[in-house]
């Protein structure tokens, strides 16, 4: 090769892999359980975007949105805005697959977590919420037997009664016909001590729940490896 010759490098694509290492072929031979989350997403995506393989795109999506849970909470528009080259078709494919997963979870209640105490709710939420750098409010949706129907994120940023709209917190509960909800938010400072504002928000939610016939079972404040139940302390549930 001459000194002036140039070598063109390009990213490794799925078609460059041996058949035995390609996600679709591995799924057919070894079963879906043998694949990583990125490989499963790559099969759904089918192709990557310009200069990026389907697997690399899947890994980027998981990293950008914080895993499958984060992806499940996003919207098609957010996907397209935050991932260069991702068009409406691929965004729709992802959203459809994630919605199938949600519906399957709702269709098999005996396999879903059951929340019977503040400890149960805290166990579900602490791994994701204990060390968030900004304030986030989430709602656990429960059926009549207290099985978890879903967990939704309704607010990010500083929370107060002027920002928190009761309708937003109950929107998914009404849509899914949930019987009850548990509200939770974190304190980035790490101290879960409820503020007067937390108590006021709780009082408003409990009152709205009575009108909508949706029980507000608790409001948790989550700190660094600690949490507080406002119901246990009698705050906002008078």
Confirm if 51 and 57 have CB atoms less than 8 A apart: no
Q: Is the pLDDT of residue 7 over 80?
A: no
Place of tokens 């965004």: 91
Bridge partner residues of 136 (DSSP): 156
* Res 158: pLDDT: 64
Confirm if 86 and 69 have CB atoms less than 8 A apart: no
In the structure, what pLDDT confidence band is assigned to residue 186 with cuts at 50, 70 and 90?
Answer: very high
Give the pTM.
Answer: 0.56
How confident is the model over 174-183, as a mean pLDDT?
94
pLDDT in tens, 90-141: 999 998 998 888 777 666 555 678 999 999 999 989 888 888 888 889 999 9
Work out the burial of residue 118: count CB atoms within 10 Å of its CB; fewer than 13 is exposed, 13-18 middle, 19 or more buried: buried
Scored b (16 or more CB within 10 A) or e, 213-234 reads ebbbbbbbbbbeeebbbbbeee
In the structure, what pLDDT confidence band is assigned to residue 218 with cuts at 50, 70 and 90?
Answer: very high
Q: Where is mean pLDDT largest: 15-24, 133-142, 206-215?
A: 206-215
* Res 9: pLDDT: 41
SS3 6: coil
Of 180, 186, 185, 184, the C-alpha closest to 216 is 180
The CATH number of the structural domain formed by 111-229 is 3.40.140.10
Q: Is the pLDDT of residue 11 over 60?
A: no
CATH architecture entry for 14-107: Orthogonal Bundle (1.10)
How confident is the model over 166-173, as a mean pLDDT?
86
pLDDT in tens, 30-81: 888 788 888 899 899 988 888 788 888 889 998 888 888 788 888 889 999 9
Task: State CA 161 to chain mean position distance.
Answer: 24
Confirm if 227 and 221 have CB atoms less than 8 A apart: yes
Neighbours of 120 (CB within 10 A): 16
Domain assignments of the chain as residue spans, ordered by start: 14-107, 111-229
CA angle at residue 17 from 15 to 20, to 5 degrees? Answer: 115
What are the backbone angles phi and psi of residue 94, rounded to the nearest 5°? -65, -45
Q: With residue 137 as reference, give the H or E element that holds it.
A: strand 136-142
Q: Which residues contact 87 (CB under 8 A, 6 or more apart)?
A: 80
Q: Which residues contact 54 (CB under 8 A, 6 or more apart)?
A: 14, 23, 42, 43, 45, 46, 47, 48
């Amino acid at each position: 090769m001459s000194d002036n010759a140039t070598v063109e490098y390009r990213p490794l694509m799925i078609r460059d892999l041996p058949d035995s290492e390609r996600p679709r072929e591995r799924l057919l031979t070894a079963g879906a359980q043998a694949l990583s989350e990125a490989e499963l997403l790559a099969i759904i995506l089918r192709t990557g975007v310009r200069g990026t393989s389907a697997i690399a795109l899947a890994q980027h999506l998981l990293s950008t949105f914080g895993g499958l849970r984060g992806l499940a909470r996003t919207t098609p528009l957010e996907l397209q805005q935050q991932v260069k080259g991702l068009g409406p078709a691929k965004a729709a494919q992802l959203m459809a697959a994630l919605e199938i997963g949600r519906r399957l979870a709702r269709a098999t209640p005996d396999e879903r977590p059951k929340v019977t105490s503040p400890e149960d709710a805290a166990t579900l939420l602490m791994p994701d919420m204990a060390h968030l750098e900004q304030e986030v409010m989430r709602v656990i949706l429960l059926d009549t037997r207290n099985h978890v129907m879903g967990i939704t994120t309704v607010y990010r940023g500083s929370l107060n009664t002027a920002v928190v709209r009761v309708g937003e917190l109950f929107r998914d509960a009404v849509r899914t016909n949930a019987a009850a909800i548990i509200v939770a938010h974190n304190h980035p400072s790490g101290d879960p001590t409820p503020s007067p504002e937390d108590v006021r928000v709780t009082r408003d939610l409990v009152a709205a729940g009575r009108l909508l016939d949706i029980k507000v079972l608790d409001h948790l404040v989550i700190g660094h490896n600690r949490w507080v139940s406002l119901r246990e302390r009698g705050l906002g549930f008078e």
